[in-house]
Amino acid sequence: MTNEKILTEVTKYLDYLETPNENFGGMAVCPFLKKERVTEGLMLKIWRPNEKSFFELLDEFVESDKSSALLVCMDSDGIMWEEISRKKYQKAIQSTMEQKGYKKHKALCFSPFEDWTAAGEETRKKSPYFLINLAETDALNEAHRSLWKTKYFDNFSDKEIDTLKVYPKNKGKLNG
């Protein structure tokens, strides 16, 4: 498959993530993505692990002027993304990043092969590929905090909130 076709598929998914959705309080599934794309703050890369290491791409992102990165993970020798446990892979990447001194950045993995819902919607199943989002931890934390002041989480089940590990300071009352 050509890079152009891959990026077209990913762009279609990103468009979906930017679209206002009633399940998310009328906000986009990913409310910060549009700004990243409009301001060209998003580094979008196709990653073939047999051609380039994760840390080469991480360094490229850290040294860039981009505020976040999205790695589109392609199957390659020894890695079939459908067989990868998203949760274990994300923990392993994060642990290795910290060991190598990348303490200010976080990697979030998104797998279309995993049963996952947010506000009752299978948001990740719509992704054409396994994705890794890279960003500064402080920016992710601030974005998370800002969402608690909105209706974004109103339709999330308690289980979805627990799975995402996103809590307001006062866990007892959402938007209260």
Mean pLDDT by runs of 10 across the 176 residues of the chain is 96 98 96 95 97 97 97 95 96 97 96 94 96 95 89 92 70 46
Q: What is the pLDDT of residue 42?
A: 97
In this predicted structure, what is the pLDDT of residue 149?
87
Quote the pTM value. 0.92
Strands, E assignment, the chain: 42-47, 68-73, 105-110, 130-136
How distant, in Å, are the alpha carbons of 24, 47, 133, 162, 166 from that of 156?
A: 8, 32, 22, 10, 11
* Amino acid 175: pLDDT: 44
- The predicted-structure confidence for 134-156, as pLDDT tens digits, reads as follows 999 999 989 888 998 899 999 99
Do 151 and 26 touch, CB atoms closer than 8 A? yes
Q: Which of 113, 91, 112, 67 is nearest to 165 (CA)?
A: 91
Closest CA to 130 of 116, 142, 120, 144: 116
Residue (of 141, 140, 116, 136) closest to 126 by Cα position: 116
